Amino acid sequence: MIIELTDCTNVLLDEIKDKRFKQKDIAKTYALALRSSFQTDYKKVNQAIIDRWSVSGLIRIKELAWSGECF
């Protein structure tokens, strides 16, 4: 059985808006989106991350997501 995240863009945007979610939480969801067969609007998601944290926050989240260290 394969389980994957759907509606990745909206899930990520909702989590980014929610102040209870930290960068490591977003990195987990970002990692799931990277592995999903569903489309993700990374331009929109990345801009939301930059708006909340900064470019360095985006880099940190992407590095955690790609490395798998967030799990």
Per-residue CA distances from 10 to 1, 50, 53 (Å): 24, 16, 18
40 found inside a domain? yes
Mean pLDDT value across residues 35-57: 97
Say how many domains are in the chain: 1
2 found inside a domain? no
Instruction: Residue 35: give the domain boundaries.
Output: 8-67
1 found inside a domain? no
Instruction: Look at residue 71 in the predicted model and tell me its pLDDT.
Output: 83
3 found inside a domain? no
In this structure, are residues 61 and 42 in contact, taking their beta carbons and an 8 Å threshold? Answer: no
- Residues ≥6 apart with Cβ < 8 Å to 70: 24, 27, 28, 31, 64
Return mean pLDDT, the chain: 97
Instruction: Look at residue 16 in the predicted model and tell me its pLDDT.
Output: 98
Examine the pLDDT at 19 and tell me if it is beyond 90. Answer: yes
Instruction: Look at residue 23 in the predicted model and tell me its pLDDT.
Output: 98
Tokens of 25: 């939480």
Indicate the SS3 state at residue 21: coil
